[in-house]
A and B are shown apart, each in its own frame.
Chain A
């Protein structure tokens, strides 16, 4: 177990180093950063002085080393556009994105799994057909279109929900939350629905397929033959056996939700990291782009690690130590 975690952590370090290298390379490929920082009327001598002061005249690897060192301390430099430390900007925007992503993920999981179980168990009812047909729309409609349609219906026509922003937020330490106020919650509804719809339908279809697979197995038939109530057979024996692939997908999808909140945040002008990123792209604000890249990579690495550990808890067959086993080894 410990060895497994250590091995995983080593792999995570390699991944993070690679991502850091790529994001650092952005600085050099996207043109001379000095040009981005200073105006046209700055003299060449001044430019050289600035270059020296920022350490930009040093060899690539030395610069990368300094970048890593700073990044490890949470220092990603100054935003070109806003002139403020990038880490401050991210800390400001992180709560908005995380609240949106977590809400969307929770909706996707807590609606997607029950729908998947239902449609898997009762394949031929008309309700299942309705869900399946609707899920096709969820999988195939692009996010921005769903967002715009929702705004059209609920904000423009019905005028019941706000079309942009976070509403009123409350500060708890450095964290700003929209959950504490009614307007904050109302503002969360449309963006989180938009963001979750794809994942929800994906999870539903996956759970449905897995359920149908598991329900055909002998141990489900045997559980029925033992006279266990349907509730136990379906939600205990069957659902638990679908969880390994479902956890994998949910984990990876959560990373995607955070990363691809960009589109939803743009549509709803949600003041999160995605919006920050899009604005940074427009201004070639490389420190922000680099920091965003590293942060999202970190998200994926952490999620993957958590998913791997969850397998271990869900499926006893993956637990390598067999001290409890003893007995015969023959199959």
Chain B
């Protein structure tokens, strides 16, 4: 089996609470190849961000990984001791968070934050690190980088700060960047610029991206493949064009129907009845079964695995008759 850059295999993230253990991410499997952009979409609480946090080992306690494996280049990283995982964070796996306004330490200049990250992961001298920091700022499109490197975060606008955050994530030329809703907190006009920047930089360096978002438009423009998450599980995963044009899982079908299309007049948007279940009462069988228009008996008792359809993998019993469960053949 060829090694993927990042493989997430039956990942399970749980939160022990007073009223029992909540399973926030349940048997999630996917992989990302070198230089590939995987979009991860889903509603709030679908487990997208937690999956990202679990990969870089930054789950907020008491949340923890209760099962499954995460492999980087074939090497398990989910069970590494904290100090070894730290060496992977920033160096192999970069991260960009949602809110650029709060991601930067207000008391340090951005130059200091860049150089300390560079010096942590490379053996550059301070002078070299500073040169690299200026170069990074230029790469992410900060004007007058030599001068602005002495500025504090509060002296930048939100969009500019997110550019700095991206520069920080790319400091050590990571193999993969986990971008957790990188544009959600930004002005719409800035969003496109930031996404384009992220995509361009990652293409230039051959960096893979796991792009977590709830914005289907961003996914459509940016991602190579997309994973649709629902109630902590992957509902469907496949090439972005196929999933958008020919969704297979009933949830994905509903999701795509809910996106207004420009130029198609006054059609009524489809709506998925009900709401995503709370983590405390995820239904037996398929998590989507109470809302599914095509539900049948088996959906209420047995949980479907990811099954191959003509174009993608969907965790839906509708596709059971076509082929056998396709876990091994996960390279779609």
Contact = CB atoms under 8 A, between A and B. Distances in A.
Interface of A: 217-219, 221-230, 232, 236-237, 240-241, 314-317, 322, 324-331
Given A219-B102, A241-B106, A317-B106, A229 B86 contact: yes
Contacts of A326: 144, 147-148
B152 A226 contact: no
Given A222-B103, A224-B89, A327-B160, 19 more contacts: A219-B104, A222-B95, A225-B89, A225-B94, A225-B97, A227-B87, A228-B86, A228-B120, A229-B120, A232-B116, A240-B108, A317-B106, A325-B155, A327-B143, A327-B151, A327-B155, A327-B157, A331-B157, A331-B158
A328 B87 contact: no
10 contacts: A218-B103, A219-B106, A225-B169, A227-B91, A241-B106, A322-B155, A324-B151, A324-B155, A328-B160, A331-B158
B154 A228 contact: no
In this complex, the member of A236, A322, A325 whose beta carbon has the largest number of chain B beta carbons within 10 angstroms is A325
The CB with the most chain A CB atoms within 10 A, among B109, B152, B171, is that of: B152
Interface residues of B, number: 42
Interface centre among B87, B108, B143, by most chain A C-beta atoms within 10 angstroms, is B108
B148 A327 contact: yes
Interface of B: 56, 58, 86-91, 94-95, 97, 99, 102-109, 116-117, 120-121, 143-144, 147-148, 150-152, 154-158, 160, 165, 168-169, 171-172
B107 A241 contact: yes
Contact of A221 (B58, B121, B156): B58
Given A226-B120, A227-B87, A325 B151 contact: yes
B88 A227 contact: yes
A47 B317 CA distance: 112
Contacts of B165: 222
A326 B157 CA distance: 11
Contacts of B152: 316-317
B105 A223 contact: yes
A3 to B, nearest CB: 21
Contacts of A237: 105, 108
A330 B187 CA distance: 11
Contacts of A240: 105, 107-108
A314 to B, nearest CB: 7
B49 to A, nearest CB: 11
Contact of B58 (A219, A224, A314): A224
A109 to B, nearest CB: 20
A316 B56 CA distance: 31
A237 B153 CA distance: 14
Given A225-B90, A225-B95, A326-B147, A316 B102 contact: no
Nearest to B102: A218
Nearest to B99: A218
Given A229-B120, A241-B107, A317-B106, A221 B155 contact: no
Contact of B154 (A223, A316, A328): A316
Contacts of B169: 225-226
A227 B103 contact: no
Given A222-B104, A316-B106, A324-B150, A227 B157 contact: no
A83 B157 CA distance: 68
A90 B108 CA distance: 44
